[in-house]
Structure 1
């Protein structure tokens, strides 16, 4: 396996383990988002956040955006999900408009769907999604990472995506449909 794929696969496993270790036990197949969904409407949230579907702007100048969701097929080399089944895929872009480097090595991106906030399985598939966000981003630089979410035959029309860049930053929450 090429070094880039090995590194990507290792990163995917580490991110999955970190995400699993940070979560509180919940009944299988359901979980509420770690942060309640933002209220509908164009008003900004306290702390510099934005309404769903807009860019999430932090007071220090860091901006997070999530692309429109699309349906992709999970490849044979993916970690998570079931090869050959559909997944919702998004690109997460972080623009570091702050005056200092930010470290997003442990950034967590997760999704729930539907009125009952059914959890999706994270899919790490470098062949389809590319690499996830990783490492530091220098001041003035931008990074993009790919993320996938598997729900079997479930409904991907109402995704709530949560992005946590660093432990000391509030989560950015986005509504998307695939």
Structure 2
């Protein structure tokens, strides 16, 4: 149920989060986070005409990187003196004096010829295609392996039948020899000891 309504909830939480972050940026001395929260709820009601009702969800998501406030350049300048050159690592914004002499830059920065843009991540369809190809390669390998096992099994079975056939031929020859020996012994037997009928 939450996944089907997430778009609406996310939109409302984003609106409330932006109001909360604006108010917390300009909160008065001595004001607590709860005071800012109450003021944000009131401001949300004024701006949207509705009461913000997703407090628990907002409390859960507000600390994730998507929801953490990053100051824009204009907001940051209002808190700093103009003309200062510094880096704020909490939100990765920088102020650089463009009129500064390049001789004053650190040695390592003068040697940079070109900064390559970050490599774009692989797209969903392409990644899926790669996974399909890898899956197909694995499947082909398994099929080839299975075919080899079946071929080996067939070869062993064929050898087994050939050995059984040879064994039967041997038994037939032995039985024929026994019969012939029996017939010869009857034919060569002396009839002198036999009584006539």
TM-score for the superposition, normalised by structure 1: 0.20
Higher strand share: 1
Higher helix share: 2
- Bigger radius of gyration, 1 or 2? 2
Greater relative contact order, per chain length (Cα 8 Å cut-off, separation 6+): 1
